[in-house]
Amino acid sequence: EIVLTQSPDFQSVTPKEKVTITCRASQSIGSSLHWYQQKPDQSPKLLIKYASQSISGVPSRFSGSGSGTDFTLTINSLEAEDAATYYCHQSSSLPITFGPGTKVDIK
């Protein structure tokens, strides 16, 4: 099973600040890494697919990069509505696994 680790676990950020969340896989997964945003009492929402591919309707301040074992989700100029928990997810091999999540709070 591929284990995904995320850092940091928690981040408190001021609006307009840049946020960087990393996801590391226990073995190479190519670019089969996807990012989700989950706000309280809501279902997860796909933000980025295949490491860096943008999703229609998702603000351009969200971007992704990386390949192999190390991946990054970047939120440029954080807005108050971005307060949420962010999860990475790998589909390279079964079983599908998710990272433990990174909670982003607004100062």
Partner 1 sequence: QVQLQESGPGLVKPSGTLSLTCAVSGDSISSSNWWSWVRQPPGKGLEWIGEIYHSGITNYNPSLKSRVTISVDKSKNQFSLRLSSVTAADTAVYYCARGTLGSAYGSGSLDYWGQGTPVTVSS
Q: Which is nearer to partner 1, 31 or 74 (CB)?
A: 31
37 binds partner 1 (CB under 8 A): no
Q: Of the candidates 44, 54, 74, 106, which one interacts with partner 1 according to CB under 8 A?
A: 44
Q: Of the candidates 7, 18, 27, 46, which one interacts with partner 1 according to CB under 8 A?
A: 46
CA distances from 35 to 47, 58, 97, 107 (A): 5, 12, 12, 23
87 binds partner 1 (CB under 8 A): yes
Q: Of the candidates 16, 43, 60, 80, which one interacts with partner 1 according to CB under 8 A?
A: 43
User: Which stretch, 11-19, 66-74, 76-84, 92-100, contacts partner 1 (CB under 8 A)?
Assistant: 92-100
Cα Rg of the chain, angstroms = 13
- DSSP for 40-86? TTS--EEEEETTTEE-TTS-TTEEEEEETTEEEEEESS--GGG-EEE
| Cβ atoms of 4 and 96 closer than 8 Å | no
Which residues of this protein are in contact with partner 1, per CB under 8 A? Answer: 1, 32, 34, 36, 42-46, 49-50, 55, 87, 89, 91, 94-101
